[in-house]
Amino acid sequence: MPDHPIDEPRLHENSQTVSLSFEGRLIQSCMNLAKPDELVLDYTRAMMGALLFNPSPRRVLMIGLGGGSMLKYLHRHLPESDLTTVEISQPVIDFRQAFLIPPDDERHRIVCADGAQFVRQPPQRYDLILVDGFDGRGIPDALCSRGFYQHVRAALTADGLMVANVQAETSQARLIRQRIGKAFDQQCFAIESEEGGNDLVTAANDRTVFDATLADFEARWQALDAVHRETLGESAGAIAHALRRAGAAGPP
């Protein structure tokens, strides 16, 4: 069970979009009705930067469902990937039809569970773990402790990656970056989302993943599917800059 009551999610609809918030606060997820698989929010597009390091992860774990934006994007564009999404709030999951999230099938499932508890004893290891768990107060303590990030690292494959969405320019964000750095032996870097407001921290189980990507960045970029290059936009340049600045090994 969560360490505090979970805010009730709220659905907002108009002729163009469907969005999700908690207790009327900031929008957590948004869907364009004309393009339901499109990543509308800039931070979700930036999180797809993980595909520069591994364009076809076999197993992906997402902690936090929201409106299912990243789940739908990966489900459509990575047909060979096995996708597990862990969401603690059943009311959020109950909005899946409003957000046109496909039903569970043999390669994709939504699990109603505490993400922090899930990674303590994961059923398998993952090539990519996306952490995007927020409630009305921000990131729950259970999803940003040093112990949580240690469990996440242990749940990754040898060359696996974690990408975590962190609110930018807050004391909590700075503390979270420090915790990630310690849990991953400083094998991490951070970029800011295109429009600001979110830091996206990428951490590697093995630093050679960063070294290889930096050494061959342009070729990896050109090899990406066109839809991923369009999605990443300015984020790819920010990732390359962050890797060069950190020497592919420094702290975020």
Cβ atoms 201, 190 nearer than 8 A: yes
Which residues lie below 8 Å from residue 113, measured CB to CB, with a gap of 6+?
Answer: 86, 87, 88
| Burial class of residue 249 in the structure, from the number of CB atoms within 10 Å of its CB (0-12 exposed, 13-18 middle, 19+ buried) | middle
> What are residue 190's DSSP bridge partners?
201
Q: Which of 62, 176, 202 is nearest to 118 (CA)?
A: 62
**Bridge-based pairing state of the strands 188-192 and 198-204:** antiparallel
Place of tokens 């509308």: 40
30 bridge partner residues: 19
Q: Which residues are catalytic?
A: 132
The secondary structure of residue 35, as a DSSP letter, is B
Q: Which two tokens stand for residue 163?
A: 């990408």
